Structure 1
């Protein structure tokens, strides 16, 4: 299935919280959301990390702290999670699942129901669809611990009862966006792909209002 799922006009006054806003994709999500007229808050670990994010409300703290998360969520209408973690060849990774567990609990407490979260190609039933190099070398040697935690993260979200969309980008690049993506949930015959962070950002912000991919896990690629 192709297209972005942008089937509703964004509400200019909607208030969203963005997690992972200082990462490569997160910064573009912030830029895209502001350009569409959203009121944006971001949760960052320190004021220094967020000092160059103009036009947003900064909330300082650890995403694994539910008290901090509830403060960040207060008055928000939706959440975008672009949380990421570096490759970890040897050590178990728990950041994504622990932060997401705090997030889900806090969203329920604050009455926020829409959650759009980026995981990645290799999570859930997209495992084994990354192409030869990704599936046989990169994934098992560098990313298996990261993706074990992404799978825990996805399970927490799917079991949350929230209005969620899980976005699984293929390999990210920093090329200019094309303005369109392929969004797939049938991966038969699909092996490998790449996509610009710019296009991921557009697709993710589409899902804040869109219904086409609600409670689904599209893989997005060029």
Structure 2
């Protein structure tokens, strides 16, 4: 099984845009990026939800709005997408793919090439590797429509021509960081796992200055 342990790469501090910054993982991405000395902009619809994102510049807007995205992208070097959406077992989900299509167009227009995009275990060729509970219960009953949109989202990123990394976390939890992260693309023998949001945020930010996973889709877990 192919594995890789992440290490922080010492590079010039990037200017980044974070989407999904008011979610559980997005907040940690912002706080860790600020702690690293990054210049951070967040795009969010609600100033109230973003007001505690200390050290980040706030731009009001919808992630599906290409004009708002272009405004937020000005002067940026890279984008981290931590966009998420609620489980919707009874209706089609399109937010992730719609926002990602608008983002790719906006990044090309603003000449920003680096994109690190979080999707999830169960997207693309990682489907069927989540373990019994995830694969047989959660996925078909609650997550099927969300993951159909994650698949569309991944396809848009892969076809974008950008310098992308797709990060597929295992089941997320709010435990303390363990430090060590397993990152794999060979999923033979992998059947489920979990990872702390803190460790996901660290791995995602490491990809801004490291090409080890460029144009690849690592599944990350403990």
Give the structure 2 partner of residue 105 of structure 1.
105
CA-to-aligned-CA distance 1:173-214 (integer Å, 9 cap, x gap): 000010110000000010000000000000000001111000
Q: How does 1:36-51 map to 2 (within 5 A)?
A: 36-51=36-51
The answer to whether the 8 Å contact 1:5/1:210 transfers is no
Q: Is residue 21 of structure 1 aligned with residue 21 of structure 2?
A: yes
Q: Distance in 2 between matches of 1:151 and 1:172?
A: 19
**Structure 2 residue aligned with 1:129:** 129
Q: 1:7 to 1:175 in 2, by over 3 A?
A: closer
- Residues 1:7 and 1:49: Cα distance change in structure 2 (over 3 Å): closer
User: What is the aligned partner in structure 2 of residue 2 from structure 1?
Assistant: 3
Shift of 1:157: 0.3
Please name the residue that 2:170 is paired with. Answer: 170
* Deviation at residue 7 of structure 1 after TM alignment: 6.5
Return the alpha-carbon distance in structure 2 between the equivalents of residues 56 and 32 of structure 1.
11
- In structure 2, what is the Cα distance between the partners aligned to 1:140 and 1:10? 42
1:6 shift after superposition? 3.8
Provide the TM-score with structure 2 as the length reference: 0.97
Taking the aligned partners of 1:164 and 1:7, their CA distance within structure 2 comes to 18
Using the alignment, how far apart are the partners of 1:154 and 1:179 within structure 2?
A: 27
Q: What 5-or-longer segments of structure 2 have no aligned partner?
A: none
Give the deviation of 1:2 after TM superposition.
3.1
Q: Is contact 2:170–2:192 with CA below 8 Å preserved after alignment?
A: yes
Q: State the partner residue of 1:119.
A: 119
Shift of 1:31: 1.0
Q: Report matched runs for 1:191-202 at 5 Å.
A: 191-202=191-202
Deviation at 1:8, TM superposition (A): 3.1
CA distance in 1, matches of 2:103, 2:42: 13
Q: RMSD of aligned C-alpha atoms?
A: 0.9
In 1, Cα distance between equivalents of 2:78 and 2:103: 12
Moved over 6 A (4+): none
Q: How far is the alpha carbon of 1:3 from its aligned partner?
A: 3.2
**Structure 1: runs of 5 or more not aligned:** none
Shift of 1:47: 1.1
- Measure the CA separation in 1 of the matches of 2:5 and 2:82: 18
Tell me the distance in 2 between the aligned counterparts of 1:110 and 1:32: 25
CA contact (8 A) 2:107 2:113 kept: yes
Query: Is residue 4–residue 184 contact of structure 2 (8 Å, CA) maintained in 1?
Result: no
Instruction: For residue 4 of structure 1, report the CA deviation from its aligned partner.
Output: 4.1
Q: Distance in 2 between matches of 1:117 and 1:5?
A: 17
